[in-house]
Chains A and B, each alone.
Chain A
């Protein structure tokens, strides 16, 4: 990895150090917060750590030149989904604060599964993309997304609108008191 970074430096004259440092800081915060989501004993804290992860993902989208997706991420996830989660927590339990019994009896089984999965994925990723360098890109125009959505991906777009409608009606029917 280091060699390819140095090779990029030779080619372009300079590595974009700022982007790499920003990526590293955001990634560290995200991994810490994601780890806290699955290990904390407080359900509300888990939801708030999830906000950190989602905001970090939005920041990574901006680093990856995808501003429209980043804005959608902030509005849909941090704005809407998190409120849903907080309502879900509030409506399903009265207990505030630490709580026992959040984990299954056999929760340790998850550790080897996750480690094995990560080992396999990391091996494959590093093996395939070890030397792939993402060069400097001018940001994509948002217009390009609308061109894609409204011409080649129109049918899935309409399908998703029906799915959202069905999900909204289904959620109302399920959660209704009667």
Chain B
């Protein structure tokens, strides 16, 4: 098993997630792309834990999972509030704060 396998897979997932964040207009789908990015990072952490024979990477992966759960909860609550106020969750229509 080569270390490059895991790292390249994580890089592919990360780049697909970045593409999704840039390309998507729907706020829920942007949150899904962010989940892809976080999972790519977790995969890297676990792969490095395996490579260095050290469990700290797995602990960090668990912490990232916890933070991701908190992030998606607050994010979806915000999306829900925006939808209730504007009847739309298209991100390019939220331009009130534009100067």
Chain B 1-41 interface mask (CB, 8 Å, partner A; 1/0): 11111111101111111111111111111011101100100
Q: Are B3 and A114 in contact (CB under 8 A)?
A: no
- A149-B59, A167-B70, A170-B74 as given contacts; A1 in contact with B1, CB under 8 Å: no
Q: Which of A31, A34, A84 has the most CB of B within 10 A?
A: A34
Q: How far is the CA of A15 from the CA of B39 in the complex (A)?
A: 28
The number of chain A residues with a CB under 8 A from chain B is 86
Nearest residue (CB) in B for A117 is B15
- A1-B4, A103-B23 as given contacts; A153 in contact with B12, CB under 8 Å: no
Q: How far is the CA of A61 from the CA of B3 in the complex (A)?
A: 14
Q: Are B3 and A134 in contact (CB under 8 A)?
A: yes
Q: Are B13 and A53 in contact (CB under 8 A)?
A: yes
Q: Are A84 and B73 in contact (CB under 8 A)?
A: yes
| Contact residues of B between 42 and 68, Cβ < 8 Å to A | 42-43, 46-47, 49-51, 53, 55-56, 58-59, 61-63, 65-68
Nearest residue (CB) in B for A159 is B63
Q: How far is the CA of A37 from the CA of B63 in the complex (A)?
A: 25
By a CB distance below 8 angstroms, the chain B residues around A38 are: 16-17, 19-20, 23-24, 29, 33, 36
- A92-B28, A101-B90, A156-B63 as given contacts; A125 in contact with B7, CB under 8 Å: yes
Q: How far is the CA of A65 from the CA of B51 in the complex (A)?
A: 11
Q: Are A43 and B18 in contact (CB under 8 A)?
A: no
How far is the CB of B41 from the nearest CB of chain A, in Å? 11
Residues of B within 8 A of A (CB): 1-9, 11-29, 31-33, 35-36, 39, 42-43, 46-47, 49-51, 53, 55-56, 58-59, 61-63, 65-74, 76-81, 83-84, 89-92
**Apart from A114-B18, A140-B55, A168-B70, what are 6 other A-B pairs with CB-CB below 8 Å?**
A30-B9, A64-B49, A72-B62, A140-B49, A156-B63, A174-B78
